[in-house]
Structure 1
Amino acid sequence: MDKKGFGSSRAVSQACDGRGGRRRGRMLDQGMLRYVVLKYIGQQPRHGYDLIKILQEQSGEVYSPSPGMIYPMLSMLEDLGYVSVANEGSKKLYYLTSQGQDFLAQNQELAQAIENRLSALREQGAGRVRARLHALRDAVHERLPLAQGDPVLQERMATVLEKALVEIQAL
């Protein structure tokens, strides 16, 4: 790890090409995520929520960092002097500082490799499956109140969901 708490370029490169560096269950760790977050803030000032949405879109909904990952990282980037913050009511708007611009310029290749990794996730098609899963969940939540007091409708919904579950498990 380098003196600023960022992963070595070798570790980041390995993680981006799938040879290691990832913790189980986490697509990008904070060391890698910092580079691409700085890149997005450098394009235009951003709120933390905007960064989460951009990362979701970039990955085709496959990767979604939690607020518990994004906001502490943004605070750390502020402490390092890479971003500055302006309060907009209850929200914070993050700007890239000149020090952050210099750091990003030195690490542009890493930021691009991480962004390419996110794009590759989208292109692999897993985002389409996740989007269908979210649409199914939303449809169930919309219709569940209609099924209150209607055991026939409840049974039909349960049967459809059970059938989908069995078919997916059989893949």
Structure 2
Amino acid sequence: MPPVFQHGDLRLYLLSLLDEQPLHGYGIMQALGERTGGTYTPSAGTIYPRLAKLEEEGLVTKTKDGRQAVYAITDAGRAEVRERADEIEGIQEGLADSVRLIADGVRANVREAMKSLRADLAAASAAQRSEEPPPAEDDPRVASRAELMRAEGAISSFRGSLRAELRTHVARGGRLDAAVVDALQRDLDGIVARVRDVLAR
């Protein structure tokens, strides 16, 4: 996935946010996080210098509200937003694509979970219809099911953590070389092969 904001896009998008309403710095960071579906979480070191630059250019003003600084767009800032409305629309479409990718991933995870749940329910229903007594607590099948759930939890946690790391890295403009992905694929294939080997014993 390419960086969420290309060169110069963040500056323009900040102006568009302030065109909607005045915001303090933390509110701007929150808005960016929400509108990118969590794919972009800017730091104060990223946002405040850009706001200061916009203030120098006369496009925004800064006023104190207690201990917080509130930023508001000026008439010159509104004029730039109007002149570059097409560019802003393109940025918003890019953000929508990023959020759509996340939603697709969530839907896929839900589908996998539902498939597993349906299989578990079908197995439970079959066991209930069976005349065999339920397995005892020390039955190896009970222990295996418990370990299976633990393994699935570990895999799910690993997948979520790794995806978050990769998405955050790329969203912040970091490079993701093919060699890194190739090494990841080799390591994962190796883990699968080792698990198969252990299960076959």
Q: The TM-score by the shorter chain falls in which range? A: 0.5 to 0.7
CA separation in 2, counterparts of 1:90 and 1:119? 34
TM-score when scaled to structure 1? 0.60
CA separation in 1, counterparts of 2:101 and 2:28? 22
Residue number in structure 1 paired with 2:70: 93
Q: Which runs of 5+ in 1 are unaligned?
A: 1-17, 133-155
TM-score when scaled to structure 2? 0.52
Aligned-residue offset at 1:27:
2.8
- The aligned length equals 122
CA separation in 2, counterparts of 1:96 and 1:87? 15
Tell me whether 1:60 sits opposite 2:41 in the alignment: no
CA separation in 1, counterparts of 2:159 and 2:34? 30
Aligned-residue offset at 1:99:
0.7
The root-mean-square deviation of aligned C-alpha atoms, in Å, is 3.2
Tell me, yes or no, if the aligned pair for 1:56 and 1:64 is still in contact at 8 Å: yes
Identity of aligned residues (%): 26
CA separation in 1, counterparts of 2:99 and 2:10? 17
Choose between structure 1 and 2: higher helix proportion.
2
Tell me, yes or no, if the aligned pair for 2:19 and 2:73 is still in contact at 8 Å: yes
Amino acid across the alignment from 1:68: G
Q: Which protein has greater RCO, CA pairs closer than 8 Å, 6+ apart? A: 2
CA separation in 2, counterparts of 1:47 and 1:91? 7
CA separation in 1, counterparts of 2:40 and 2:159? 26
Cα deviations by residue, 1:2-24 (Å, 9 ceiling, x for unpaired): xxxxxxxxxxxxxxxx8xxx7xx
Residue number in structure 2 paired with 1:150: none
Tell me, yes or no, if the aligned pair for 1:61 and 1:127 is still in contact at 8 Å: no
CA separation in 2, counterparts of 1:63 and 1:99? 28
Q: Residue 110 of structure 1: SS of its match in structure 2?
A: helix
Q: 1:18-97 maps to which residues of 2 (within 5 A)? A: 26-29=3-6, 31-97=8-74
Residue number in structure 2 paired with 1:15: none
Tell me, yes or no, if the aligned pair for 1:62 and 1:126 is still in contact at 8 Å: no
Of stretches 35-44 and 159-168 in structure 1, the one that deviates more from structure 2 is 159-168
Aligned-residue offset at 1:127:
8.7
Aligned-residue offset at 1:69:
0.9
Residues 59 and 166 of structure 1, relative CA distance in 2, 3 Å threshold: closer
Aligned-residue offset at 1:162:
4.8
Amino acid across the alignment from 1:90: R
Q: Which runs of 5+ in 2 are unaligned?
A: 110-146, 163-187, 193-201
Tell me, yes or no, if the aligned pair for 2:16 and 2:81 is still in contact at 8 Å: yes
